[in-house]
Amino acid sequence: MRIALAGAGAFGIKHLEALARIDGVQVVSVVSRTLEQAQQVAKKYGAAQASVDLQDALDSADVDAVILCTPTQLHAAQSIAALRAGKHVQVEIPLADNWADAQEVARVARETGLTCMVGHTRRFNPSHQWVHNRIVAGEMSIQQMDVQTYFFRRSNMNALGQPRSWVDNLLWHHAAHTIDLFSYQCGEPIEQANVLAGPLHSELGIPMDMSIQLRSQSGKLCTLSLSFNNDGPLGTFFRYICDNGTYIARYDDLFTGRDEPVDVSRVAVSMDGIELQDREFVAAIREGREPNSSISSVLGCYEVLGKLQRQLDS
């Protein structure tokens, strides 16, 4: 499996580290914003091609699939270009920053018949997999999810503390993780969604605080709080309130409601959610099947995001 990676920033490096642990996978091309960065990363991970233009990878017969870790605003157009070039695609979350573009990517994916997977990593984290497996087995059911997504990001910096060339978005990026996970864990669509946003940042032009309420088809609830103003523990923390226990997920770690650790080390072959995500992408292509977090399975999340955006716009 010959893969091109576009976007050699903080998240792109996570994918490259993960791909290095998967048998039969070779990174053959690295695309980045500057040629110097592309060449440095390509050399480190053994890729023959380094470029600042994604089209170079799409034109190459040596590329089977593309992983897109580029700025949010480029995701939809780049996904469509890759699919039309005959390449399988894994695009990092979010698929798009508007509902119309998300629908168009889905249409092109159906038209080409190629694998198109979106990086909804929470589906793959062992902590959330453990909860999902118990739900599927009929051992418990969600009553409510309480989720906090908190960062301290009052300037345009990435996860490595480096300046970003684009502006992140609480709704279309960070809320997408939870909206998709809530529907996935409940096993049913979201029928009601409400959003409130704080004031726009004077320079970034985005709300720095947001509150979202969700209700599933059968009445399960989710309350999501998001902030770029939080100067404290950073990250996303999930509380699952179930009919048979309460569980708190902190990325790949899981605890009971009484803060007792739950062993999730045997849930999958790795404790790295990104690696498990990439393994699923490669396996789905090899086996000719639909992957978990395929574009069709996550599209409902983007429909909800579109509705929430219309609420904010009005």
User: Domain residues of the chain, as ranges?
Assistant: 2-120+274-292, 125-267
DSSP string, 204-250: T-SBSEEEEEEEETTS-EEEEEEESB--SS-EEEEEEEETTEEEEEE
pLDDT tens, position by position, 107-141: 999 999 999 999 999 999 999 999 999 999 999 99
**What is the 3-class SS of 144-212, one letter each residue?**
EEEEEEECECCCCECCCCCECCCCCCHHHHHHHHHHHHHHHHHCCCEEEEEEEECCECCCCCCECEEEE
Domain range 2-120+274-292, its CATH number among 3.40.50.720, 3.30.70.260, 3.30.465.10, 3.30.420.10: 3.40.50.720
Strand partners, 255: 248, 261
What is the reported pLDDT for 167?
74
Strands of the 209-216 sheet, one edge to the other: 190-197, 209-216, 221-227, 142-150, 235-242, 245-250, 253-256, 261-262
Q: What's the DSSP call for residue 294? A: B
- Residue 108 tokens read as 């092109």
What is the reported pLDDT for 234?
85
- Based on the number of CB atoms within 10 Å of its own CB, is 142 exposed (0-12), middle (13-18) or buried (19 or more)? buried
Q: Do domains 2-120+274-292 and 125-267 have the same CATH topology?
A: no
Contact 21, 46 (CB under 8 A): no
Q: How confident is the model at residue 204 (pLDDT cuts 50, 70, 90)?
A: confident
Q: How confident is the model at residue 73 (pLDDT cuts 50, 70, 90)?
A: very high
What is the reported pLDDT for 163?
72
Domain range 125-267, its CATH number among 3.30.360.10, 2.40.480.10, 1.20.1250.20, 3.40.50.300: 3.30.360.10
Residue 159 above 70 pLDDT?
no
Q: What is the pTM of this model?
A: 0.95
Q: How far apart are CA 41 and CA 21, in angstroms?
A: 17
Contact 14, 165 (CB under 8 A): no
Residue with the two structure tokens 């009971």: 256
